């Protein structure tokens, strides 16, 4: 009985140590994630700036088409809509990059310190409880041994005391096993909470990303409009022919 429990406790303790060890050795991976995320975030921020300047230039091209003497006003208007939609995407990209920093990168960096403290506490508490439980078992076992020696010498009046002491040792083992189970459960929950916490930080970023890509839907319509408007580049549209006609008798 004791041998079986001893084996189980050892397995639980071993897994506890593995989980704690896994968590402790994972920091370089999390730190690398934070570093790479930070670099991507700076790139995104720089991209937002470049996109804003690009869209200013794009709008000027659209204005060229809009303000021309004839024939490209519709194209100019569609290009302006295209530009405005992209300003919407630019705004979403900016929000996405801010959320990336504010909801994931910075909080995760702070969280790391808490994780380190949490695991150290788990490890220390476990060691303390394990040591105490082991000492109690040792003491009870040595009590039992003494009583067994006395019982062997034929002193049968020690038998009830011996039975009780053996039961004590057994109880302590069951207690140790429960302690080990609880410690393991806590370690597994701690490990799991890390990923739950990570996912909770990640989701608003993905939400921003989804809403940014959602802006792209509107682009299709404008792209189709532009295709139709420019389908015959070698022919003047009626509006332009009208401009030529209107010059007759005008005071241009």
d(CA 164, CA 168): 6
249 binding a copy of itself? (CB under 8 A): yes
174 binds a copy of itself (CB under 8 A): no
Map tokens 């739950």 to a residue.
Answer: 196
Q: Out of 135, 159, 164, 193, which residue is the one contacting a copy of itself (CB under 8 A)?
A: 193
Is the Cβ–Cβ distance between 232 and 74 less than 8 Å?
Answer: no
How far apart CA 119 and CA 116 sit, in angstroms, is 5
Residue 185 engages a copy of itself in binding (rule: CB under 8 A): yes
Q: How far is the CB of 148 from a copy of itself (least distance, A)?
A: 28
When the beta carbons of 28 and 154 are compared against a copy of itself, the nearer one is 28
Helix (H, G, I), strand (E, B) or coil at 236: coil
Nearer to a copy of itself, 149 or 235 (CB): 235
For the chain, the first-to-last Cα distance in angstroms comes to 111
| Shortest Å distance, C-beta 114 to a copy of itself | 14
Cβ of residue 227: shortest distance to a copy of itself, in angstroms?
Answer: 6
Nearer to a copy of itself, 15 or 84 (CB): 15
Distance CA 9, CA 183 (A): 11
What tokens does 65 get?
């088409």
Determine contact, residues 23/115, Cβ cutoff 8 Å: yes
* The one among 110, 153, 157, 217 contacting a copy of itself by CB under 8 A: 217
Question: By CB under 8 A, is residue 118 in contact with a copy of itself?
Answer: no
Q: Scan for tokens 């790139």, then name that residue.
A: 43
Residue from 135, 199, 238, 242 in contact with a copy of itself (CB under 8 A): 199
Please name the residue that has the structure tokens 């429990």: 5
Residues 31-70 interacting with a copy of itself (rule: CB under 8 A): 32-33, 35-37, 39-40, 42-44, 46-47, 50-51, 53-54, 56-58, 60-61, 64-65, 68-70
Q: Out of 163, 206, 238, 242, which residue is the one contacting a copy of itself (CB under 8 A)?
A: 206
Residue ranges in 79-108 that form contacts with a copy of itself under rule CB under 8 A: 79, 82
**Whole-number Å distance between alpha carbons of 206 and 41:** 14
CB distance 84 to 62 below 8 Å? no
Nearer to a copy of itself, 70 or 161 (CB): 70
Between 39 and 155, name the residue whose CB sits nearer to a copy of itself: 39
Neighbours of 126 (CB within 10 A): 21
């Amino acid at each position: 009985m004791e041998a079986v429990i001893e084996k189980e406790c050892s397995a639980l303790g071993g897994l506890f140590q593995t989980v704690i060890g896994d968590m402790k050795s994972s920091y370089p991976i999390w730190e690398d994630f934070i570093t790479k995320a930070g670099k991507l975030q700076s790139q995104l921020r720089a991209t937002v700036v470049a996109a804003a300047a690009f869209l200013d230039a794009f709008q000027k091209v659209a204005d060229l088409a809009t303000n021309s003497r004839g024939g490209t006003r519709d194209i100019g208007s569609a290009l302006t809509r295209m530009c405005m939609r992209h300003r919407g995407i630019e705004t979403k990209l900016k929000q996405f990059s801010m959320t990336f920093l504010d909801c994931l990168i910075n909080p995760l960096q702070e969280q790391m310190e808490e994780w380190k403290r949490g695991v150290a506490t788990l490890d220390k508490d476990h060691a303390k409880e394990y040591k105490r439980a082991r000492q109690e078992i040792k003491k009870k076992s040595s009590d039992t041994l003494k009583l067994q020696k006395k019982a062997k010498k034929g002193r049968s009046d020690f038998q009830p005391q011996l039975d009780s002491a053996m039961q004590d040792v057994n109880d302590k083992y069951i207690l140790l096993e429960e302690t080990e189970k609880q410690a393991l459960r806590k370690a597994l929950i701690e490990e799991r909470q890390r990923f739950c916490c990570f996912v909770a930080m990640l989701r608003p970023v993905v939400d921003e990303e989804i809403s940014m890509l959602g802006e792209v839907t509107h682009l299709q319509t404008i792209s189709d409009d532009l295709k139709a408007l420019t389908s015959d580049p070698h022919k003047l549209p009626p509006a332009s022919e009208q401009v030529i006609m209107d010059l007759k008798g005008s005071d241009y």
